[in-house]
Amino acid sequence: MPNHIFGRSTKGQLPTAVAGDGCYLIDSSGKRYFDGSGGAAVSCLGHSNAHVRAALHDQLDQLAFAHTGFFTSDAAEKLADRLVAAAPEGIDRVYLVSGGSEAVEAALKLARQYFMEIGQPERHRVIARRQSYHGNTLGALAAGGNEWRRAQFAPLLVETSHISPCYEYRERRDGESLEDYGLRSANELEAEILRLGPESVMAFVAEPVVGATAGAVPAVAGYLKRIRDICDQYGILLLLDEVMCGMGRTGHLFACLEDGVAPDMITIAKGLGAGYQPIGALLVQGKIYDAVASGSGFFQHGHTYMGHAMAAAAANAVLDEIEGNNLLSRVREQGDKLDAALRAEFGQHPHVGDIRGRGLFRGVELVEDRETKKPFDPARKLHAKIKANAFEAGLICYPMGGTIDGVNGDHILLAPPFIIEDAQIDEVVTKLSGAITGALA
């Protein structure tokens, strides 16, 4: 078959996916793959969900697209109402886009415009964290702290500096309590603000549970509260990027609800459309919207497909399923079972250093030496071998290598559909175990 499409990998032809069936994807040879990572934490309802399909057919029969420069739609308005009702305190405006990078990009531009509108034009810097990913467009890439992604595109458009990722497995000192570590990690923000000059900083960006770049590393208790206080003290906006960890993945519709923190802005995507439509959203506190509305009256941003009725209809149907089937409590239950199964399988494994996460968002970090936590040599590309072995065995998981500086080890992220059954948890762990054993051999 001719193959004119190019994606990330230029190394050869990928299998052709032809169907989805619950937690499984099926290729053109009939092989079934358990979708243990939803691609990248996208397919929270699994594939071919009947309710979402019916909702999309209905929406298509009514209206597919009307440009947001002229119209709103019932589907988009309904979605915004539902997101605001479920969001942390103070969030009351929604900006609908088509994915995660667009949402982060919009957040950075809105933060900049907000400070222009309120007469603090010198605030332009962003502080984020090492080992973070916030998207691939130039602004979002600048926010991310993943050196190998940034390096070839430097100098980047948004001036960003990076602090501790709040990664207790690697950074907590012997004898230091979790709480003390959380505060020490958060206090790096204050030191960085003072170093840069508070009047020049506009936003701090972080994922409550770090996904792709670290493998489901949750903020330790108290960390985000201290971050919130520091942002308030210096008049800096707190942007929580929940593109991967949001929309129920951790067992709460917004991950930060578990941390008891209300950010100024939240970005969501992936699970919002659950793979049925491309959609993302930026949610903001009223004070930010009001400053624009009562100032220039126009947010200097926009995309053709924002607020797309089909995308909004898909997201509404996803929310129907989450609410109607009590999926948040199911995520917590099945997440605990997945955690227990991972610990039973890998708890004593000589090369598994850490097992972590929240809900159905779990990570396993591999190390050469459990005592010293020394990562494997990145040149071994252990993560890539695990991914290939798992795929061969019919399991899709999301492995990533250590960072370029070799600080952290190869890790595997699991983000299965919320509908995962007990027997499928065993299937995932067994296949993953075989893939790791094969890669280490």
Which of 100, 271, 375, 409 forms a contact with ligand PMP (CB under 6 A)?
100
Cβ neighbours for 423, distance < 8 A, ≥ 6 positions apart: none
* Nearer to ligand PMP (CB atom), residue 251 or residue 273: 273
> Is the CB of residue 141 less than 8 Å from the CB of residue 156?
yes
Q: Is 207 in the site for ligand PMP (CB under 6 A)?
A: yes
Least distance in angstroms from the C-beta of 214 to ligand PMP: 10
Least distance in angstroms from the C-beta of 374 to ligand PMP: 27
Least distance in angstroms from the C-beta of 436 to ligand PMP: 23
Least distance in angstroms from the C-beta of 398 to ligand PMP: 9
Tokens of residue 242, six digits: 């929940």
* Nearer to ligand PMP (CB atom), residue 8 or residue 173: 8
| DSSP per-residue string spanning 103-137 | HHHHHHHHHHHHHHHTT-TT--EEEEESS----SS
Which of 99, 165, 208, 251 forms a contact with ligand PMP (CB under 6 A)?
99
Q: Is 133 in the site for ligand PMP (CB under 6 A)?
A: yes
* Nearer to ligand PMP (CB atom), residue 125 or residue 134: 134
Strand partners, 411: 365, 400
Q: Is 388 in the site for ligand PMP (CB under 6 A)?
A: no
Q: Is 212 in the site for ligand PMP (CB under 6 A)?
A: yes
HSE-up of residue 178 (Cα within 13 Å, Cβ side): 7
Torsion 325-326-328-333 (CA) sign? negative
Q: Is 269 in the site for ligand PMP (CB under 6 A)?
A: yes
99 SS3 class = coil
Least distance in angstroms from the C-beta of 74 to ligand PMP: 25
Q: Is 211 in the site for ligand PMP (CB under 6 A)?
A: yes
Torsion 385-389-390-391 (CA) sign? positive
Q: How far apart are CA 396 and CA 31, in angstroms?
A: 12
- Residue number of the CB closest to ligand PMP reads 100
Angle formed by the axes of helices 309-324 and 327-346, nearest 10°: 70
> Is the CB of residue 246 less than 8 Å from the CB of residue 290?
no
Q: Please identify, among the stretches 70-78, 131-139, 252-260, 305-313, the one whose residues bind ligand PMP according to the rule CB under 6 A.
A: 131-139
* Nearer to ligand PMP (CB atom), residue 286 or residue 302: 302
Closest CA to 75 of 62, 84, 91, 87: 62
Residues contributing to the site for ligand PMP (CB under 6 A): 40, 99-101, 104, 133-135, 207, 211-212, 241, 243-244, 269
